[in-house]
């Protein structure tokens, strides 16, 4: 039998090939690529939503699918503290699609994009034999202080997160506000050493920060801000908050000396910013409760075959 594989194994093998080129300042492995253009770099990110995998059209409207298709990309540009600029939308429309459905989908994309100053600049339209496919590429620009990468966390940094975690299964993943403006405001008010958007759950995304930065992290279990709309089931509240994914909040590391100032006068009142832990020299990710510290195994949602 062919061995199973997971999305991160493929991404890691692509990254290890070291596909480097001076024109690509940051390639595979961050939330968006950074294309070096001299006077001002370009950010590029792409995400795909598939009927039957990410959504069911009997439960979700085409408008919601469109909104989310651009929302997840806006969140990746936010993770770089960038300014989103132009969207390119590739559609696979299944048999039976109507122009009203396609219009509604595109309206979801365009209206949410316009809230963030994004212009629809191109795309591709095809017939699909296996459900609705929406692949969206978003271009953006870094703001004045440059792109924030996953790779700059240093031991001693304070680890923070915006908002609360774990509300996605209650439906928030269809209506989350991408933290574009908040990321830019944070970037202006504090030195952001490293940042990622929480797409798979911090139980997974923290490992990306750790690997890229070459450090470890300790998360204080009691500090994790937990959503008020968690499902009630056998899983613990913390398990939901760490691993349900699709929170699309910002997870970032800042120098310890600026953390008190940031928390005392945050650049925005909502969402709250919570300190949930710190970066450490030791590799690995640990969950701390009082004096005890246990190793955290990667969780979160992973596509696998
Ligand atoms: P995110 O959750 O922020 O969208 P992903 O986990 O999807 O990030 O991807 C991580 C990194 O791997 C990104 O830099 C992305 O561009 C890259 N990547 C993912 N799939 C592929 C692929 N098939 N080919 C090349 N790069 C990929
Ligand atoms: Mg991301």
Read off the pLDDT of residues 202-238 as tens digits, 9 standing for 90 and up. 999 999 999 999 999 999 999 999 999 888 888 999 9
Whether 183 has a pLDDT exceeding 70, the answer reads yes
The per-residue pLDDT of the chain, averaged, comes to 95
- Assigned token pair, 15: 């990254």
CB environment 282-299: b (16+ within 10 A), e (fewer): eeebbbbeeeeeeebebb
Q: What is the pLDDT of residue 144?
A: 85
> 47 phi and psi, to 5 degrees?
-145, 150
Whether 138 has a pLDDT exceeding 80, the answer reads yes
Q: What is the pLDDT of residue 15?
A: 86
What is the pTM for the complete model shown? 0.95
- Assigned token pair, 256: 């310890």
CB 247 within 8 A of CB 160: no
Cis peptide before 271 (omega within 30 of 0): yes
The residue written with tokens 């949410």 in the block is 112
Whether 271 has a pLDDT exceeding 70, the answer reads yes
Rounded to the nearest 10°, the torsion over CA 141, 62, 228, 240 is: -80
Site to probe by mutation for ligand 1, drawn from 16, 17, 27, 28 as the one with most ligand atoms within 8 Å of Cβ, is 28
Is the Cβ atom of 205 under 6 angstroms away from ligand 1? no
- The better pLDDT of the pair 36, 93 is held by 93
Read off the pLDDT of residues 141-154 as tens digits, 9 standing for 90 and up. 999 899 999 999 99
Q: How far is the CA of 10 from the centre of ligand 1 (A)?
A: 9
CA-nearest residue, atom 16 of ligand 1: 28
Of 162, 167, 222, the C-alpha closest to 192 is 162
Spatial distance between the Cα atoms of 148 and 150, rounded to a whole number of angstroms: 7
Spatial distance between the Cα atoms of 231 and 61, rounded to a whole number of angstroms: 23
Q: What is the pLDDT of residue 269?
A: 96
Of 24-33, 37-46, 194-203, 217-226, the one with minimum mean pLDDT is: 37-46
CB environment 14-27: b (16+ within 10 A), e (fewer): eeeeeeeeeeebbe
Q: How far is the CA of 95 from the centre of ligand 2 (A)?
A: 32
Is the Cβ atom of 29 under 6 angstroms away from ligand 1? yes
Q: How many C-alpha atoms does 157 have within 13 Å on its Cβ side?
A: 27
State which ligand 1 atom lies nearest to the alpha carbon of 30: 14
Q: What is the pLDDT of residue 123?
A: 97
Of 56, 65, 147, the C-alpha closest to 112 is 65
Of 141, 252, 160, 244, the C-alpha closest to 199 is 244
């Amino acid at each position: 039998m062919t061995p199973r594989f997971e999305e991160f194994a493929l991404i890691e093998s692509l990254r290890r090939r070291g596909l480097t080129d001076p024109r690509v300042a940051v390639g595979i492995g961050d939330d968006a690529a950074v294309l070096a253009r001299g006077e001002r770099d370009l950010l590029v990110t792409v995400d795909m939503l598939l009927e039957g995998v990410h959504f069911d059209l009997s439960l979700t409207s085409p408008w919601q699918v469109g909104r989310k298709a651009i929302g997840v990309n806006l969140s990746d540009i936010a993770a770089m503290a960038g300014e989103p600029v132009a969207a390119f939308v590739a559609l696979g429309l299944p048999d039976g699609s109507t122009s009203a459905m396609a219009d509604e989908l595109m309206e979801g994309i365009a209206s949410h994009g316009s809230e963030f100053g994004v212009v629809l600049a191109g795309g591709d339209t095809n017939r699909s034999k296996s459900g609705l496919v929406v692949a969206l590429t978003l271009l953006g620009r870094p703001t004045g202080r440059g792109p924030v990468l996953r790779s700059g966390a240093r031991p001693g940094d304070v680890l923070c997160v915006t908002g609360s975690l774990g509300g996605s299964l209650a439906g928030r993943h269809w209506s989350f506000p991408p933290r574009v403006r908040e990321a830019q405001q944070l970037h202006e008010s504090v030195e952001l050493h490293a940042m990622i958007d929480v797409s798979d759950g911090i139980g997974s995304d923290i490992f990306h920060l750790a690997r890229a930065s070459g450090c470890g992290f300790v998360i204080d279990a009691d500090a994790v801000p937990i959503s008020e709309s968690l499902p009630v089931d056998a899983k613990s509240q913390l398990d939901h908050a760490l691993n349900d994914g699709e929170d699309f909040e910002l997870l970032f590391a800042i120098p310890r000396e600026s953390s008190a100032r940031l928390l005392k006068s945050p650049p925005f009142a909502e969402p709250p910013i919570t300190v949930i832990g710190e970066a450490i020299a030791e590799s690995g990710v640990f969950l701390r409760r009082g004096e005890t510290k246990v190793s955290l195994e990667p969780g979160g949602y992973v596509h696998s075959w």
